[in-house]
Amino acid sequence: MNVLIINAGSSSLKYQLMDPETGAVSAKGLCERIYIDGRLTHNANGKKVVKDIPMPTHSEAIAAVLAILVDPVDGVIKSTDEIDAVGHRVLHGGMKFSDSCIIDDACIKAIEECIPLGPLHNPANLMGIRACQAVMPNTPQVAVFDTAFHMTMPPKAYRYAIPTEYYENDDIRRYGFHGTSHKYVTKRAIELMGRKDMKLINCHLGNGSSLSAVKDGKCQDTSMGLSPLAGVPMGTRSGDIDACVVQFIMNKYGMTADECLTMLNKKSGMLALSGVSSDFRDIEQEADKGNADCALALDKFAYEVRKYIGAYAAALGGLDCLVFTAGVGENSASMRARICEGLEFLGVKLDPEKNQTRGKEAVISTDDSKVTVWVIPTNEELMIAQDTAALVNAAKAGK
Ligand code: ADP
């Protein structure tokens, strides 16, 4: 089976052609500068091709992707009929989606209704969906939501302590993001541990970072909120912050709410604290050379992640398994060590040698550690492909 995975942004579109059973990726690439001019970067058959192709809308971008997938030289399939299904990454499913869903008119309408909750991403995701429908009307399509995995949270975790009308009238609550990644690593942790009945904390630490508390395979809490701004500090996002800081800055500097939020989303976090970069590799390098601001940024990040781990262990009533994933979680032994330092009281004991692992599935705790600590590389695309295949196959079987 071939599933085409689409992640459409406002001016870009990433794609992969994947076999959901083996996870083998036969082609992947990126359309950039949509609405500006258009550039396609395509990786297949062991080579990279870059082409300037006019992309006045997402439709031309999708058409360019399909054209190169069937190209006699750079392509990997003979005809677009060989694409069995399309899986779309969609940012915000609001309260309407607790799972992936086959795209039909009702699904599109529901994604549209979630636009106020995901104003930047959902419109772009919809453009990707509509563009695919236009060029491949007979191919089944599935929407996979970044929020869906977290929909099992109980009200005490998802409700904000603000007047009820905002929840009842406006759906304002904690949703959480990176759900596809949290779902994937949860599934792998259950497979690797050989048990589902466990208390698990996932640390997705990348440019954007979030943690989730999971019991018996179901999400109980997560660090991001209504938007991805909440939780631990990130590459350029502040993470949790007292709302009065926003009021103070707006009043003193005459900023609008939007301007202030842009500052919190784009100019804060590790970038602001380090004064050097939003990229953890740069910050670690400068900290090693003695830059005190970079050292503080790393210390603050580790501290906040550690605090969330402590809070979630308390929320779950214990901890069996701790998982690190995404760019930093998979690759930075020093950050994992910093985070776990002081967590011995919870039964977390890292093995310094095993912790040197990078980018592959491995246990990094000692044999006598009460909590099993894992590095599990995330694979959101595989999760999207598997969800897509499962829904499409079930629909076919039901016919
Ligand atoms: P995104 O949220 O964009 O998907 P990623 O999950 O790819 O982000 O993570 C990107 C982050 O991972 C960057 O800050 C990068 O510096 C960091 N990273 C990648 N490799 C390493 C490494 N070897 N050591 C430290 N940080 C790393």
**Per-residue pLDDT averaged across 191-202, rounded?**
98
- Tell how far the Cα of 387 is from the centroid of ligand 1, in angstroms: 26
Q: Which atom of ligand 1 is nearest to the CA of 208?
A: 2
- The β-bridge relationship of strands 13-18 and 3-8 is antiparallel
Which residues touch 182 (CB under 8 Å, ≥6 apart)? 149, 150, 176, 202, 204, 210, 212, 214, 219, 222
**Percent of the chain's residues with pLDDT above 70:** 100
Ligand 1 center–CA 330 separation, angstroms: 8
Residue with the smallest CA separation from ligand 1 atom 1 is 207
> How far is CA 245 from each of CA 155, 180, 239, 240, 339, rounded to the nearest angstrom?
27, 32, 13, 11, 27
| Mean of the per-residue pLDDT values of the chain | 97
- How far apart, in whole angstroms, are the C-alpha atoms of residue 18 and residue 387? 12
Q: Is the CB of 279 under 6 A from ligand 1?
A: yes
Q: Compute, in angstroms, the gap from residue 278 CA to the centroid of ligand 1.
A: 10
Catalytic residue numbers read 146
- pLDDT for position 74: 96
Q: Is 281 in the pocket of ligand 1 (CB under 6 A)?
A: yes
Q: Longest Cα pair distance anywhere in the chain, in angstroms?
A: 65
Ligand 1 contact via 207 beta carbon (within 6 Å): yes
How does strand 372-375 pair with strand 321-325? parallel
The proportion of the chain whose per-residue pLDDT surpasses 90, expressed as a percent, equals 98
Give CA separation, 379 vs 2, 178, 255, in Å: 17, 11, 39
331 lines ligand 1 (CB under 6 A): yes
Say which residues have a Cβ less than 8 Å from residue 356's Cβ, sequence separation at least 6: 333
d(CA 76, CA 68): 8
Per-residue pLDDT band for 120 (boundaries 50, 70, 90) equals confident
Q: Residues 233-251: pLDDT tens digits?
A: 999 999 999 999 999 999 9
Q: What is the pTM of this model?
A: 0.95
Q: How far is the CA of 142 from the centre of ligand 1 (A)?
A: 28
From 182, 184, 332, 358, mutation site for ligand 1 pocket: most ligand atoms within 8 A of C-beta: 332
In this predicted structure, the answer to whether residue 398 has a pLDDT above a threshold of 90 is no
